[in-house]
Amino acid sequence: MLELVVLGSDPDVGLEVAAAVGGIAYVANDATHEKAPFRSLVRAVVSDPDQLAPAADVATHLVFSRQIKSHDVTWERGTQTPGVSACFGLVHNENLTHQQTDTHWREIHAPLALEHHAAMWDYVQLSVVRTLDGPALDGIAVCSFPTLEDHNERFFNDAESEKIINADVATFANLRSSPRPALLSEVLPVL
């Protein structure tokens, strides 16, 4: 599905904008994320990108979203999802095209991620179709875990899983140019 993704620096504005358009917000909920490249990420299907502009002071991307793994929603929509989401910006490896990177990410890396991140309960690949404003990215991976402890202590199944994932990421991503991840909390839209 095509949707707009905006990255911003103000979590409160991100929440307001997502609520106004029925989008999904991922927001930093404390000051520990000040060094992250963004503090809010809003995903929405809207006909007018200006609806998301207040939350887009970092970047705006048109993306194709791929839901690789989904968690069950057992809480009230419009409230914070339990756990945390690690949001990784992706810049393609200089030896690959955007399309080659996206194909590898979808066909090779996604199955590896499902195998080697057993504690991950939700995984979305946001493949950038076009950067409308801000730094160019090839994609954004949203890797969600049911608790902060799961993220911190069980991001990888074990040391071998970490080695496999890191080696694979290095084949399709430019690790020097890709922004550092942001650790955010998800808020689903009210339906």
The string of pLDDT tens digits covering residues 25-78 is 999 977 556 678 899 999 999 989 999 999 999 999 999 999 999 998 888 888
Q: What is the pLDDT of residue 16?
A: 95
Phi, psi of 25 (to 5 degrees): -115, 140
pLDDT digits (tens, 9 = 90+) for 85-138: 999 999 999 999 999 999 999 999 999 999 999 999 999 999 999 999 999 999
* Residue 53 tokens, joined: 């502009």
Where along the chain do its domains lie?
Answer: 2-187
| Entry pTM | 0.94
Say yes or no: domain 2-187 is CATH 3.40.605.10: no
Strands, DSSP E only, in 15-138?
Answer: 24-27, 40-44, 59-69, 84-90, 122-133
Do the Cβ atoms of 90 and 109 come closer than 8 Å? no
Please name the residue ranges forming H helices in 45-184. 98-104, 110-116, 148-154, 159-172
> Please, are residues 60 and 133 in contact by the beta-carbon 8 Å criterion?
yes
